[in-house]
Structure 1
Amino acid sequence: MAEIVKPPSQLRIHSLRRLIAALWPLRSHAGKRVSKDVEVDLTDVEFVTPTGMAVLAAALCDAGNYGVRVTLKRPQKQSVHEYMQRLDFYATARFPALDTYSFKRHDAGTRFRELIEVASDKDGHDICSEIANIIGAGCGLASDAKSALFCSLAEMVDNVFHHSSSTALVCAQSCPQLHEIEFAIVDCGVGFYQSMRRNPSLHNRFADATGAITLALEPEVTSNPSFNRGLGLFVTSEAVRHNGGLMWICSDDGAVGIMNGNSFAGDPGPRWPGAVVAARINTTRPFATQHIYDKLRVDNDSDLDTLFR
């Protein structure tokens, strides 16, 4: 008999940890092939955002990779089903048979970036450029601020390939009527704790998954100093903090949130082997970059000067 998974009715950034908890039967394989049946019932889902779609699709793909036989029941609410199809959820989550709604596809422009599984640096950079353009258009960013954002997003996606040994699920959308832009980068790799343990100089600076995430939010902290500068997550989180937006970073049983300009550690909770980085930006507030440069305290660095001034 199949194990039943019923996600929350709201698949959004606010319910991220409840969604992660509900999806555990899809992620409990511990990296080994298993033989079991799981039914994921989306019947009662009434609202979905990029974060919910990316996390759900990542869990479905990961379960399939390890032999879990998954059946998926689509949302009963037609508008939700159509929205998920338009943002390529079913195709990306490997359930193309549920693509039952016919529509004429138009260029999304700066409205959204459909859900996509990113498997290479080049594709990742192209997707990050699209997301930076979405945020730039919604927030009225100058070219230097948009360049800084692109570089920070690209570094975070690069980290998935080079630190996490995984692919990334990425999605973004601008909602002008709500004055919000949301994006999510999700992977099912080794997670912050195991990745940061690879750098011997960091061993004594964190004790658990939340500590590893907290440390990764500091400037120039990276598990692989020879590969990147450790600025991607720092720049993004500082931009969201200054903007008054919302951000969650979840990995293993740890979590760190940013809300109303403050960061806080979440209680140890449901496990997500890998990492979820999800953010919601307030388009009515400035998206400044000078304060980020000031925090870096790096003298005579022309590269940083080009990116953040």
Structure 2
Amino acid sequence: MEFKFDNIDQELYNLIKLKDNVINISNYQFIEPVGMAILKALVLSENVNVENYGNTKSYMDTLFNKEYDSSKSYIPIENVRYGSIDKSTKHVTNLLLKHKDFQNLSAEDRKDLYDYLYYMISELLNNALNHSLSHIGAIVAGQYFPNLKKIQLCVVDKGVGFLHNIKRKYNVSSESEAILKAIEKGVSCPPPKLYSSSVNNAGYGLFVLTEIIKHTRGRLKIISNDGIVYIDENNEIHLKDNISSDWKGSIVVFELYEKNINFSKDEFFRIYIYQDNEDTEDIFI
């Protein structure tokens, strides 16, 4: 058994299956960071126990117990609370960039990658901590896969989900519709200050995240309660509701390829995002 980006919606039910308040993942041969972040969120929110005597035990122990190992390409899970977004974002980004592949980049390319990751992580943490009503805060986890040259990063919360907030302003009736609305330009929050590094004035929320993914041929999955929206490497959007899961909360996971970054973050905003005299409402994220 494996739990990966590709099968999140199909495998989520099995991953979080409870028996006598215990989740047993010993049968899993491989679990990507997003799976471990989901499990950590359940441990914190519902006080469940995770039993693991299988191949992923040492991996889980490292991620759960914050035992950073510089020889590994994955980083410990962070439980982020309001007020520590900037600190946690810097910490996670710096740990990811310690891999030798990124140390060998030019100073300019390394700064570009840092700026993109910092922006994307801080946006997702702001979303979770400011609007989800998640009593455990947010869970962030990440890993670099050197063979594939990709970074996987996820933010998980146990909050109310997308539909709860979006339906107050827009005519949406399902979680997937609410997610689609949330990634539209003009829905999420005020326009960015072009050269600002302030997390509190970060930009257009999930719209910018999706645009970065699209223009770097990455992948993005957003799960809210029983709904999911998936943007694939060809920029095609897939959505589904009533996924077979007891999950309550939000999961946002993206995969980013450094080699496909062609502009600095500020250049990207000028080309694809920023327009003068725009006004939006922060109704959700």
Report if TM-score (shorter chain) is over 0.5.
yes
Q: Deviation digits for residues 8-34 of structure 1, max 9, x if unmatched?
A: x212211211332225655xxxxxxxx
1:173 pairs with one of 128, 143, 152: 143
Shift of the 128–221 alpha-carbon distance from structure 1 to 2, 3 Å rule, reads: same
1:270 aligns with 2:253: no
Is the Cα contact below 8 Å between 1:209 and 1:253 reproduced in 2? yes
Q: Could you tell me which residue of structure 1 aligns to residue 11 of structure 2?
A: 19
Q: Could you tell me which residue of structure 2 aligns to residue 285 of structure 1?
A: 260
Is the Cα contact below 8 Å between 1:154 and 1:232 reproduced in 2? no
Unaligned runs of 5+ in 1: 1-8, 27-35, 65-69, 93-104, 302-309
The alpha-carbon deviation at position 218 of structure 1 amounts to 1.8
CA distance in 2, matches of 1:63, 1:106: 26
**1:37 counterpart SS class:** coil
Shift of the 299–230 alpha-carbon distance from structure 1 to 2, 3 Å rule, reads: closer
Residue type matched to 1:282 in 2? Y
Shift of the 128–180 alpha-carbon distance from structure 1 to 2, 3 Å rule, reads: same
Shift of the 180–164 alpha-carbon distance from structure 1 to 2, 3 Å rule, reads: same
The alpha-carbon deviation at position 207 of structure 1 amounts to 2.7
2:79 pairs with one of 117, 132, 135: 117
**1:117 counterpart SS class:** strand
Is the Cα contact below 8 Å between 1:151 and 1:232 reproduced in 2? no
CA distance in 2, matches of 1:208, 1:231: 22
Shift of the 287–232 alpha-carbon distance from structure 1 to 2, 3 Å rule, reads: farther
Q: Could you tell me which residue of structure 1 aligns to residue 275 of structure 2?
A: 298
Q: Could you tell me which residue of structure 2 aligns to residue 73 of structure 1?
A: 51
Residue type matched to 1:128 in 2? T
Q: Could you tell me which residue of structure 1 aligns to residue 195 of structure 2?
A: none
1:209 aligns with 2:180: no
Is the Cα contact below 8 Å between 1:58 and 1:169 reproduced in 2? yes
Q: Deviation digits for residues 208-242 of structure 1, max 9, x if unmatched?
A: 211111111123322899x7676232222221222
Q: Deviation digits for residues 175-198 of structure 1, max 9, x if unmatched?
A: 223311111100010101112234
Unaligned runs of 5+ in 2: 192-199, 279-285
Shift of the 230–238 alpha-carbon distance from structure 1 to 2, 3 Å rule, reads: same
Q: Could you tell me which residue of structure 1 aligns to residue 115 of structure 2?
A: 147
**1:203 counterpart SS class:** coil
Scaled by the length of structure 2, the TM-score of the pair is 0.77
The alpha-carbon deviation at position 267 of structure 1 amounts to 1.9
Q: Which has the higher contact order (CA 8 A, sep 6+)?
A: 2
CA RMSD, 1 decimal = 3.1
Aligned length: 257
Structure showing greater radius of gyration is 1
Residue type matched to 1:192 in 2? F
Scaled by the length of structure 1, the TM-score of the pair is 0.71
Report percent identity of matched pairs.
26
